[in-house]
């Protein structure tokens, strides 16, 4: 059964004197537990799709269904992780992690224990009472990941969560996110500019083109790569041939500038 479905979704942004056709006729579906990447040039509408799926923004036309229900009814089922961690500097790490449950007035000792457990699981020990300024960028992104997981969302939306990190930290976090999302059998959509990251982390890659944002091609990642942790998938013999195919398709859709 399809878990998330987008059917002929179109989105226009209206400004005072103008409008932008951000998405045109987007249709795809995602199965429960699947990890899908949205890959494509700047401005092709990747973040717009995530905003629509999260229920933050209403699309202009078409259908968006999560478990066969319109997305607006299932808003709380969504976890969002962004390029910036948006941790509150004046709150401790534990309070930052528990932000969702605090807003929902749903904090009890089970939640607090779960938060501590998850922090341990992402390799953050003895940080609960610290403030975000005491942590590195990679550690802060791990806190943001725990904050996203603590509400047990049905689907995770990851908008370039690794792009502000140095390369080594990014590779380590890719492995961590992959391991956790598979362990908790979470459905996820990852937005990325990085072909390698999309191949190493996903089951499928939805390649988009711009003006207006539309789907250019959908790639299935071979099972041998899907079964490997991202770091090892990047070294698998099948990695390079898929990289070349995606690269070729991306270049077909982008103006030649070099
Ligand atoms: N709030 C807004 N008002 C008007 N136009 C917008 C708004 N947000 C996005 N757009 C336009 O819609 C299109 C898609 O934007 P979007 O941010 O979804 O692209 P993206 O693929 O996420 O790009 P990037 O890779 O740079 O993050 C772009 O042309 C952008 O300029
Ligand atoms: Mg974006």
Spell out where the chain has E strands. Answer: 2-14, 19-31, 35-39, 61-66, 69-70, 78-82, 155-159, 187-192, 204-209, 214-220
The answer to whether the predicted template modeling score (pTM) of the entire model surpasses 0.75 is yes
Query: What residue owns the CA closest to ligand 1's atom 1?
Result: 13
| CATH of span 1-41+59-76+154-258 | 3.40.50.300
Residue of 17, 18, 20 best suited for mutating to test ligand 1, as the one with most atoms within 8 Å of CB: 20
Residue 74: what pLDDT? Answer: 55
Q: Return the ligand 1 atom nearest residue 51 CA.
A: 18
What is the CA(47)–ligand 1 centre distance, in A? 7
Cα–ligand 1 centroid distance for 22 (angstroms): 7
Query: Among all ligands shown, which has an atom nearest to the Cα of 206?
Result: 1
Please tell me the residue having the least CA distance from ligand 1 atom 24. Answer: 42
Ligand nearest to the Cα of 193, by number: 1
Q: Which ligand is nearest to the CA of 60?
A: 1
**CATH 3.40.50.300 domain residues, the chain:** 1-41+59-76+154-258
The one-digit pLDDT tens for each residue of the chain (258 residues) are 689 999 999 999 988 888 889 999 999 999 999 999 999 999 999 999 999 998 888 999 999 998 888 876 555 678 888 888 889 999 999 999 998 888 878 888 999 999 999 999 888 989 999 999 999 998 999 999 999 989 888 899 999 998 888 899 899 999 999 999 999 899 999 999 999 999 999 999 999 999 999 999 999 999 999 999 999 999 999 999 999 999 999 988 776 665
Distance CA 185, CA 117 (A): 18
- How many other C-beta atoms can be found within 10 angstroms of the C-beta atom of residue 111? 18
Q: CA-to-CA distance for 203 and 187, rounded, in angstroms?
A: 11
Closest residue (by CA) to atom 29 of ligand 1?
Answer: 43
> Any idea what the Cα angle at residue 178 is, between residues 177 and 179, rounded to 5°?
90
Enumerate residues with CB within 5 Å of ligand 2 (an ion).
47
Nearest CA to ligand 1 atom 18: 45
| Pocket of ligand 1 from Cβ distances under 6 Å | 13, 15, 20, 22, 42-48, 213
Distance 159 CA to ligand 1 centre (A): 13
Across-strand partners of 37? 190, 205
* pLDDT (0 to 100) of residue 71: 78
Q: Are 103 and 150 in contact (CB under 8 A)?
A: no
Pocket test for ligand 1, best of 14, 39, 45 (most atoms within 8 A of CB): 45
């Amino acid at each position: 059964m399809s878990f998330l479905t987008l059917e002929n979704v179109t989105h226009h942004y209206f400004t005072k004197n103008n409008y932008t056709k951000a998405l045109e006729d987007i249709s795809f579906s995602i199965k429960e537990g699947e990890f899908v990447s949205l890959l494509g040039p700047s401005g092709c509408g990747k973040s717009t799709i995530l905003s629509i799926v999260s229920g933050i923004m209403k699309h202009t036309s078409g259908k968006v269904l999560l478990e066969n229900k319109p997305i607006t009814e299932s808003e709380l089922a969504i976890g969002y992780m962004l390029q910036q961690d948006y941790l509150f500097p004046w709150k401790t790490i534990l309070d930052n992690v528990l932000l969702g449950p605090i807003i929902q007035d749903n904090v009890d000792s089970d939640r607090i224990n779960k938060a501590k457990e998850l922090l341990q699981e992402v390799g953050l020990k003895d940080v609960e009472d610290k403030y975000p300024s005491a942590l590195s960028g990679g550690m802060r992104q791990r806190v943001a990941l725990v904050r996203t997981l603590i509400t047990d969302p049905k689907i995770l939306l990851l908008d370039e969560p690794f792009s502000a990190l140095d390369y080594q930290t990014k590779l380590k976090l890719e492995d961590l996110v992959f391991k956790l999302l598979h362990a908790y059998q979470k459905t996820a959509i990852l937005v990325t500019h990085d072909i390698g990251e999309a191949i190493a982390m996903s089951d499928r890659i939805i390649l988009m083109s711009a003006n207006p944002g539309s789907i250019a091609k959908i790639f299935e990642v071979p099972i041998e790569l899907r079964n490997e942790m991202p770091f090892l998938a990047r070294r698998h013999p099948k990695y390079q041939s898929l990289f070349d195919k995606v690269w070729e398709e991306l270049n077909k859709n982008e103006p030649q500038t070099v």
